[in-house]
Amino acid sequence: MQKKEKMDRKNLLTNILVTSGIFAAATLLSIAFFHYGMNSTSVAIIYVLAVMLVARYTNGYVPGILASIMGVFCVNYVFTYPFMRLNFSIDGYPVTFVAMAVISGLTSALTTQFKKQSRILSEGEKLLMEAEKETMRANLLRAVSHDLRTPLTSIIGMADTYLAETGRLTESEKSYMVRSISEDANWLLNMVENLLSVTRIRVGETRVNTNPEPLEEVVSEAVQRLRKRLPMAKVRVQVPEELLMVPMDAMLIEQVIINLLENGVYHSGTDTIDLCVRKENGQVAFHVQDYGKGISPDRLNTIFDGGGTDLNQSGDSHRGMGIGLTICKTIVHAHQGTICARNQEQGAEFIFTLPLGEDKNDGE
């Protein structure tokens, strides 16, 4: 209760100081105009503008209404004959000053209402952002719980079998088990890299710090990192010939490209993946297409929300991409871009876009 009273007292003091300052400035400006032009119409306009500024920079309707009344009396008392006297009885004065009061009052009310609506919209946007962050967090947790469990179970099972049956296993069986353990361990390492990538997004916000980066270098680095991890992958790359500087966090976008390419390799059942980058309508679009059986239609709308395997039925079902795709969505949205998935005649296609920003390097 005491805190509320202090806030009310602070708002009252702020309203008084702001109103007094604006009216003092309006009066000085009006004196200058009136001295050189002897035109009370300009003075009236200045006071209407002062009322609008009072309504804009104070809280509530009262300061604007009081400012409207003060403006009428100032114009009548100081700048209208007989000077330094209030007189509303001269022919034409009542209509003039009533009109000024109405205009000032309406201007004040509309400005205050617009300010309140803007504040409500801003609060609504903040609530939506919070809800989106909570949804992303829940999706990530669901994806983590699913995608970590499967490879860990496989590693533990293989290791226990190797230790318990090492004397009866053939060399080829041992080699298979060790290779499987290595693959699952690398998969876990990749998921950890994904989770670490998300920590680059600033805490409490859904945007990232971006800098203009050469598109071709970012794509090249991502493809090279993928080939080190998956030497058998055949990635066909196509990028624009012109030099494009795209506002982005390069490390995060590389992670998105790698996630989508890995998704295509593991879940399409084919080694050939197309990565095509195009400039479209003030943005850059990344198209990643595989040539497998595609995505189940009932999963297309929720595929980036985490918690699932078998994106393609021909894929490697023991590995899920819940974390990878969810993090792709988080990173792309943090760049104010879009991401979606769709089926083609053969295989599936993932598309994400990034805005080029003000400096589009269009050469137009």
Q: Looking at per-residue confidence, does 155 or 87 come out higher?
A: 155
- Please answer whether residues 217 and 336 qualify as being in contact, where contact means their C-beta atoms are separated by less than 8 angstroms: no
Give 162-165's long-range contacts (Cβ < 8 A, gap of 24+).
none
Residue at token pair 């980058």: 277
Window from 84-88, 143-147, 346-350 with minimum mean pLDDT:
143-147
The CATH topology of domain 200-355 is Heat Shock Protein 90 (3.30.565)
Residue at token pair 């030497």: 231
Reported confidence tier of residue 312, pLDDT bands at 50, 70, 90:
very low
- Please answer whether residues 355 and 210 qualify as being in contact, where contact means their C-beta atoms are separated by less than 8 angstroms: no
The pLDDT tens digits for 103-124 are 777 777 777 788 788 888 888 8
- Please answer whether residues 327 and 194 qualify as being in contact, where contact means their C-beta atoms are separated by less than 8 angstroms: yes
CB count, 10 Å around CB of 362? Answer: 10
> In the prediction, which pLDDT does 306 show?
61
> In the prediction, which pLDDT does 139 show?
67
The pLDDT tens digits for 237-272 are 999 988 999 999 888 899 899 989 988 888 877 778
pLDDT over threshold 70, residue 16 = yes
For residues 195-213, average pLDDT: 69
Q: Looking at per-residue confidence, does 46 or 364 come out higher?
A: 46
For residues 80-104, average pLDDT: 71
Distances (CA, A) of 268 to 54, 183, 204, 296: 64, 18, 36, 12
What crossing angle do the helices spanning 171-198 and 93-165 adopt, rounded to 10°? 160
Radius of gyration of the chain (CA): 33
Stretch (H or E) spanning 304: none
pLDDT over threshold 60, residue 328 = yes
CA 258 to chain centre: 22
> In the prediction, which pLDDT does 93 show?
65
- Written as six digits, the tokens of 294 are 């595609």
**CA dihedral sign of residues 314, 315, 316, 318:** negative
**Predicted TM-score of the model (pTM):** 0.55
Q: Where are the domains of the chain?
A: 2-126, 200-355
pLDDT over threshold 80, residue 173 = yes
Nearest by Cα to 105 from 78, 57, 72, 59: 72
